[in-house]
């Protein structure tokens, strides 16, 4: 069972400690949003969650097909920012960051990985 209050706290703490993260959306493996927080109101959390699950699933198939082990993370870079998708059997996390985040991408990756590990820890 997923502890939604724990996830809310972890998302809030992670975003507060990393100013470049503009949003985090956490969903289950089927794309059902568990919790999402974004600084812009026009982002539809359910759409992001569904796309993140599809991208993670397709990427996992590719990694497996190429015999590269299990999927760890997906980083999508764009003109105006980046999205990091991390997954576990229970949860998928999508973090959204602005274009200034490229300079601190390593820190954001570490923070989001730590957040996901803390979310699934008992």
Residue 69 to residue 118: CA distance in whole angstroms: 23
Residue 83 to residue 97: CA distance in whole angstroms: 6
What's this model's pTM, rounded to 2 decimal places?
Answer: 0.90
Neighbours of 59 (CB within 10 A): 16
Give the model's pLDDT for residue 1: 61
| Closest residue by Cα to residue 84 from 66, 70, 67, 72 | 72
pLDDT digits (tens, 9 = 90+) for 80-104: 999 999 987 789 999 999 888 888 8
What is the arithmetic mean of pLDDT over 116-122?
Answer: 89
Residue 36 maps to which CATH number? 3.30.450.30
pLDDT, mean over the chain: 91
Give the model's pLDDT for residue 102: 80
For the chain, what is the domain count? 1
pLDDT digits (tens, 9 = 90+) for 22-50: 999 999 989 999 999 998 778 899 999 99
Domain that includes residue 60, residue range: 4-120
DSSP 8-state assignment for residue 65: H
Residue 20 to residue 111: CA distance in whole angstroms: 11
């Amino acid at each position: 069972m997923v502890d939604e209050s724990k996830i809310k706290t972890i998302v809030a703490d992670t975003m507060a400690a990393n100013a470049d993260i503009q949003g985090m959306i956490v969903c289950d493996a089927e794309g059902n949003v568990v919790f999402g927080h974004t600084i812009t109101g026009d982002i539809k959390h359910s759409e992001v969650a569904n796309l993140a699950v599809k991208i993670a699933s397709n990427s996992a198939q590719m990694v497996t097909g190429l015999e590269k082990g299990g999927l760890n993370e997906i980083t999508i870079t764009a003109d105006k920012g980046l999205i990091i998708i991390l997954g576990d059997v229970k949860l998928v996390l999508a973090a959204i960051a602005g274009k200034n985040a490229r300079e601190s991408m390593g820190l954001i990756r570490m923070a989001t990985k730590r957040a996901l590990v803390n979310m699934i820890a008992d």
